[in-house]
A and B are shown apart, each in its own frame.
Chain A
Amino acid sequence: METSFLLRHTTVGDRLLALATLAVLLFFALRFHAPPGGTVVVFVDNHPRHTLPLREPTRQIVQGKLGPVTIEIHDRRVRLREFDSPRMIGTRTGWIARAGEVAACVPCGVHLVVQAPPGDDNGLDAIAQ
């Protein structure tokens, strides 16, 4: 793509906005690193159903609105795998391991939240909490 094309189709305001938002987003993305998780809470229909330790490899199946959802813990990480979902976002999220990370299948009504080990910071900033 030619530089002239980029300049021709943008105003000074566009460029300033793009640079400012990119700088702010990079700052926040790199600033906040959550600690490794200790447990994972399995929510079904927004209600906590199970709390599982990440140190023990487990495979558990919960019943979601669209069918069974498998929760798999391996190597101190956890993931969910939907049987059926329009976009399979929960499955595509893949493994999560850090406190505050979430894998969710919204249409299934099932989501996982990784929590910090007891006594540790939970990794969520004040806004997220």
Chain B
Amino acid sequence: MTALSPLRRDLLLVYLATGAVAAHLLEATLPGLGPWFKPGLANIFPLIAFIRLGFGAALAVSLLRVLSGSLILGTFLSPTFILSFSGAMAAMAALAAGGLLRPHLGPVGLSLLMALLHMSAQVAVAAWLLMGHGGILTALPWFLLGAWVTGVANGFIAAWILARLERHWWILTHWRSS
């Protein structure tokens, strides 16, 4: 696949970061499907950035999403931000580890790893950092089952977006403004 020019690479990164922030805000306003259960749509964008642009881009998208989202929602440096940040960083660790298994793992496998580590980190931080004991860990398998469903679903969404992006890659690499 033809490489992008630095400017177009940065533009794609910004588009993905914007999408991630939008998904973050959308999820914050959605009525909840249950405690600790969120669709995790914002993880789709770092995943696409990782597959198309590399780990650095994925980390940038993720950090921009958490920081911008918390500033817009007014939760910066609050416990909500700490949970969001820890989840996002755990998802990045999952991407880094899962990336070593490429191409055996595709978007669905990577998304699943991200969702499971995201949820595990959030529950661990809530248990030990914010609550001071591990009682909430008894419910962890149920939380992780929810994360399993959203991780697989988001992986398919990411795979679908990546397939469309691949179809239009020529435009990204060859398009010239008049």
Contact = CB atoms under 8 A, between A and B. Distances in A.
A21 B79 contact: no
Interface in B80-115: 80, 83, 101, 103-109, 112-113
Interface in A99-129: 100-102, 104, 106-107, 111, 113, 123-125, 127-129
A13 B109 contact: yes
B32 interface: yes
A106 B123 CA distance: 11
B106 A111 contact: no
A64 to B, nearest CB: 12
Contacts of A3: none
A87 B126 CA distance: 15
Given A9-B106, A107-B79, A101 B132 contact: no
Nearest to B101: A13
Interface stretch (B12-20, B48-56, B139-147): B139-147
A106 B160 contact: no
Nearest to B125: A106
Given A25-B145, A88-B32, A17 B109 contact: yes
A106 to B, nearest CB: 5
Interface in A25-55: 25-26, 28-29, 32, 34, 43, 46
Interface residues of B, number: 45
B35 interface: yes
Contacts, number: 120
B78 interface: yes
Interface in B124-178: 126, 130-142, 144-145, 148, 152, 155-156, 159-160, 163
A9 B107 CA distance: 8
A27 to B, nearest CB: 8
B42 interface: no
Interface string B39-74: 000000000000000000000000000000000010
A92 interface: yes
Contact of B109 (A18, A25, A89, A104): A18
Interface string B13-32: 00000000000000010001
In order of increasing CB-CB distance, the 10 nearest A-B pairs are A13-B104, A14-B109, A9-B159, A29-B141, A46-B132, A28-B141, A100-B138, A128-B137, A102-B136, A14-B108
